[in-house]
């Protein structure tokens, strides 16, 4: 979990906010990690470094959702850490919005047991009962992340609206995640394709 006040949610979703500072005794996130941010979804950490207050720049403040450096420092000083000096050490966390995170806990499971894989195969087989589409859809999303649903549907020779309904079914199984534009395979979805012998990115 990575908490943000409501005032920052829209900036995180739009991509205007890509940085945050935290006064933690030790790092609570890691680069590459994906963390729930209720209620907007998932945030992915791109990098984390330890810096001092004096190192914060105006650009850092803007990327953090503040109009000025002073506003950011004052905000940080109003937190649990209380008053800070230029020498106070903080964690500088670079991040980006990584989707709406429906069924986040399930989607973030990157390690699947043989039983998990078998269960998913059975569920996809039911979805494919009338006409196979699930694996082709997963592979297309893998190859074309964050591409508009209309374009993905065209690649598969389908109409957009039925395609979006079907992708939602995959999302409910924790295999995909939605973005403002397009989709990506979730960690669970990537692990599933790898288990089938279709490595992610291959």
Options 3.40.50.300, 3.90.1150.10, 3.50.50.60, 3.10.400.10; CATH for 6-97 is: 3.10.400.10
Sorting pLDDT into bands at 50, 70 and 90, what band is 202?
very low
Cα torsion angle, 167, 146, 15, 34, sign:
positive
CA pair distance 141, 65, nearest whole angstrom: 31
pLDDT at 143: 96
Q: Is residue 113's pLDDT more than 50?
A: yes
Options 2.60.40, 1.10.10, 3.30.450, 3.40.50; CATH for 104-195 is: 1.10.10
**Weakest mean pLDDT among 97-101, 161-165, 185-189:** 97-101
Q: How many CA atoms lie within 13 A of 27 on its CB side?
A: 14
Q: Give helix 134-143 / helix 160-172 axis angle, nearest 10°.
A: 90
User: To the nearest whole number, what is the mean pLDDT of the chain?
Assistant: 90
Phi, psi (degrees; rounded to nearest 5) at 112: -110, 135
| Domain boundaries for CATH 3.10.400.10 within the chain | 6-97
CA pair distance 84, 151, nearest whole angstrom: 51
| Domain boundaries for CATH 1.10.10 within the chain | 104-195
Location of structure tokens 């295999």: 175
pLDDT at 11: 96
**Weakest mean pLDDT among 3-12, 58-67, 173-182:** 173-182
- How confident is the model over 152-172, as a mean pLDDT? 94
Q: What is the pLDDT of residues 5-54, one digit of tens each?
A: 999 999 998 999 999 999 999 999 999 888 888 888 889 899 999 999 99
Q: Is residue 98's pLDDT more than 90?
A: no
- How confident is the model over 77-104, as a mean pLDDT? 82
Q: What tokens does 80 get?
A: 């649990």
pLDDT at 79: 75
- How confident is the model over 52-67, as a mean pLDDT? 97
pLDDT at 201: 46
Percentage helix, strand, coil for the chain under 3-state DSSP, each rounded to 5: 40, 15, 40
pLDDT at 49: 97
DSSP-assigned states of every residue in 52-91? EGGG--HHHHHHTT-SSHHHHHHHHHTSTT-S--TT-EEE
- How confident is the model over 142-167, as a mean pLDDT? 95
Q: Is residue 199's pLDDT more than 70?
A: no
Name the residue with higher pLDDT: 79 or 12. Answer: 12
């Amino acid at each position: 979990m990575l908490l943000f006040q409501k005032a920052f949610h829209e900036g995180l979703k739009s991509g205007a906010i890509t940085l945050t500072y935290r006064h933690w005794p030790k790092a609570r996130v890691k680069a590459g990690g994906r963390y729930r941010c209720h209620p907007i979804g998932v945030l992915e950490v791109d990098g984390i470094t330890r810096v001092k207050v004096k190192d914060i720049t105006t650009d850092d403040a803007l990327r953090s959702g503040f109009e000025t450096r002073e506003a950011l420092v004052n905000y940080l000083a109003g937190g649990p850490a209380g008053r800070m000096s230029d020498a106070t050490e903080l964690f500088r966390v670079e991040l980006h919005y990584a989707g709406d995170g429906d069924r986040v806990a399930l989607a973030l499971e990157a390690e699947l047991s043989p039983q998990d894989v078998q269960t998913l195969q059975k569920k996809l087989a039911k979805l494919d009962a009338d006409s196979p589409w699930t694996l082709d859809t997963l592979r297309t999303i893998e190859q074309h992340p964050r591409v508009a649903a209309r374009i993905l549907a065209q690649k598969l020779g389908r109409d957009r609206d039925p395609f979006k309904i079907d992708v939602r079914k995959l999302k409910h199984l924790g295999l995909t995640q939605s973005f403002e534009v397009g989709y990506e395979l979730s960690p669970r979805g990537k692990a599933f394709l790898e288990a089938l012998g279709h490595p992610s990115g291959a």
